[in-house]
Amino acid sequence: MRVKGITAKEKAEQLLRQAEAGEYLLQLRSKKGVSLAQLGEKVGVSANYLSEIERGLKVPSDLLIRELAGYYGTDENIIFKKYGKTPLAAIEEVNDNPTLQKTLTEIRRNKKLTDDQKQELYDKVYELYQEFINKGV
């Protein structure tokens, strides 16, 4: 399988992002006043692994991010964003809806759409959703 090429600069940026996200998780744990061992008990992974995450050496899985956000009572999307990961809730929504899968696949394969047109389309989708819920749904 062809492996996606990554430059040293991209690798460095990724590590810096992980480091910042890890620091954020460390701050949340400090505020909560729990040890790595206590947190590990709660979320079901080892203290050592959590320490690696907080030091930016490892990236938590989507489900672990959800567990951590739930335990700390924070919005999980903040953590997904810090890691540059796509929010799990958005992925789940796609997983559950074949119509949405079909629409997004067609958009993906439509090579005529420019990035600006796609942005315009997705802005319209957001407006459509807003209208849909404001209509008394």
Interface residue list for a second copy (CB under 8 A): 1-2, 43-45, 63-64, 67, 77, 86-87, 89-95, 97, 99-110, 112-113, 117-119, 121-126, 128-129, 132-133, 137
End-to-end Cα separation, the chain, in angstroms:
47
**Cβ 94 to a second copy, closest distance in Å?**
5
- Closer to a second copy by CB, 12 or 121: give it: 121
Tally the C-alpha atoms within 13 A of residue 129's C-alpha that lie toward its C-beta: 6
C-beta closer to a second copy: residue 8 or 133? 133
Minimum distance from CB of 116 to a second copy (Å)?
10
Question: Taking the complex as a whole, how short is the minimal distance between the CB of residue 78 and a second copy, in angstroms?
Answer: 12
**Can you list the alpha helix ranges (DSSP code H) found in 33-137?**
36-43, 47-54, 62-72, 76-82, 88-96, 98-109, 115-134
Element (H, E) at 136: none
